[in-house]
Amino acid sequence: MISNLKLDKTAERNIKKWLRGKYDDETKATINKWIEEGNVNQLTDSFYKNLEFGTGGMRGEIGVGSNRMNKYTVGAATQGLANYLNKVYLSEDIKVAIAYDSRNFSPEFAQIAADIFSSNGITAYLYPELRPTPQLSFTVRELGCQAGLVITASHNPREYNGYKVYWNDGSQVVSPHDKNIVEEVNAITTVSKIKFRSIKKRIKTIKPALDKKYLKAVKSISVSPRINRKQSDLKIVFSSIHGTGITMVPAALEQLGFENVHLVEEQSKPDGNFPTVVYPNPEEKEAMSMALAKAKEIDADLVMATDPDADRVGMAVKNPTGEWQLLNGNQAASLIIYYLLKAWKKGNKLTGNEFVAKTIVTTDLIDKMAEKAGVKCYNTLTGFKYIAQVIRETEGKETFIGGGEESYGYLIGDKVRDKDAIASCAIIAELTAYARHNGISLFDFLADMYMQYGFYYEGLISVTKKGKKGAEEIQKMMADFRNSPPNSLAGSPVVMMSDYKSLKSINLLTKEQEDIKTGLGIESSNVLQFFTEDGTKFTCRPSGTEPKIKFYVGVVGKLKSKDEFEATLNSLKAKVESIKEELELN
């Protein structure tokens, strides 16, 4: 009996609801099997809550339960979204664009969503095959849709899938829409409230013309087309890691003039099981290993790989000893902005009305470069929806050059309103061609940037805490840091704490407080930042999409010459490691 298992009350209530409700027999059989086995952990983790929208939407493991991705949680989310759209756009003919990636059940979940939208009087524009997330953002704007949806779990492990909601400007939903949608989803208390039955005439297949328009938009971001043509033989290795990048990246590179692109064929076929990697994340060296091996084999100039939904890209450069070195997200974002500011200045495109944007956990090197160029730099909360919010609210008044976040997501230009690995691959190839045209390697280009502005290095420590117990442990860690700030980091006194939950910055020496200005990408959020006397920045933030708490450490030093690159980098890495040990971050 379920009452003998001593389950969390919410979990027990949800389990009983699923066993009594109009759920399919296979689902009920799975739940009963867990009950018979006394599998308390499985039952608790699957039912102790309902999936919620975080910084990237709804995301969870595929399986049975209210806390899992399945036809019923996808159905409830879609019905709730449909109800909200019908309330917001009372007298309009509502349109929603839908795309999906290569993950298991992505096509099925996308079709379920299209069916439900159609049954609620909403026209669903559905891609017939997998397409990148940034292309969906573009499509929402191009088709004049009120909303958009991508079925994806981005770079999460293979057992995950997810549900990203976009608003009418092509950006992910922000407040108040995100909270209002959650309320509507939570109001779907029984399966009978979900309209699964399809109305075929309201489901439209998106035509190939949208592919061409998107690629044209990507081509328009090029700043040095003449150099691209001169460096057309640039040797590029690309891997889509079994995801959607294969549908657009090769074509995007070709149209910019790059004729020497080598695909990692073993990873070119879309596959939700991601058979050649442990974790389909281009941040991980293991996921990049095949691309790096191919680069070494052909003596390439550049290596790039995209995640399953192609909104993130990882890259590698060859160092002076001939070894391939992965760049982290901060380094790649900095290189992109460094190149764009140079190219815009050379093309006399800087008028004093331009801006770049980044998140508060992304390297401060970008702030420094923008300031030197006379370009404004907006800092936002973590999540590209906040950068999109800045673009939306400054539209027609200021010109967006580009932006990025430390988690390998970048955007160039404003035709897409989410991080775009397709456009990023194009501009990374272009900046590599620019460096080569000027007689230097990509590594030299990176070193020149650090010598000019300072050697900024950032480390990320992610601590995974799964399930209900893990969520409670994460909240305790945040409370401990909030109530007892560290006195020093790597020997330097902590002088300031910014608490984005209370929206207060506190001088820890004088105890003086000042308000953190809201608006333009800043609102209340459970994030803490600590600043030391020597310029170190330490940030604590629970992930909105994964069962993790993330700690970001940013340090800075001086790079006097390219010959000292490795020694300086190792010194900064050691400093980050010492802070990790000092704070016992595990």
Q: Which residues are tagged catalytic?
A: 154
- Name the residue among 412, 424, 421 with its Cα closest to residue 308: 421
Helix axes 421-437, 442-453, angle to 10 degrees: 90
> Distance (Å, rounded) from C-alpha 458 to C-alpha 471?
26
Beta strands in 406-527 (DSSP E): 409-412, 455-464, 488-489, 492-499, 504-507, 513-515
Q: Which residue has the tokens 């909030």?
A: 482
- Name the residue among 99, 62, 155 with its Cα closest to residue 546: 155
129 by Cβ neighbours in 10 Å (0-12 / 13-18 / 19+) ranks as: exposed
- What pairs with residue 381 in β-bridges? none
Terminal Cα distance for the chain, rounded: 38
Residue 213 CA neighbour count, 13 Å, CB half: 17
240: left (phi over 0), alpha (psi -120 to 50) or beta: alpha
Count Cβ neighbours within 10 Å for each residue of 207-222 and write b for 16 or more, e otherwise.
eeebbeebbebbeebb
Helix (H, G, I), strand (E, B) or coil at 506: strand
Quote the Cα angle for 331-332-334, to 5°. Answer: 65
> Distance (Å, rounded) from C-alpha 52 to C-alpha 55?
10
In degrees to the nearest 10, what's the CA dihedral of 519, 524, 530, 535? -10
Asked if 172 and 57 touch (Cβ cutoff 8 Å), the reply is: yes
The amino acid sitting at 77 is A
DSSP per residue, 161-230: EEEEEEETTSSBP-TTHHHHHHHHHHT--SGGGS-----GGGEEEPPTHHHHHHHHHHHTT-S-HHHHHH
> Distance (Å, rounded) from C-alpha 547 to C-alpha 564?
39
DSSP 131: -
DSSP 143: T
> Distance (Å, rounded) from C-alpha 194 to C-alpha 180?
18
Q: Which two tokens stand for residue 291?
A: 């691309």
> Distance (Å, rounded) from C-alpha 505 to C-alpha 514?
5
DSSP 516: P
Residue 186 CA neighbour count, 13 Å, CB half: 10
- Name the residue among 144, 184, 176, 545 with its Cα closest to residue 384: 545
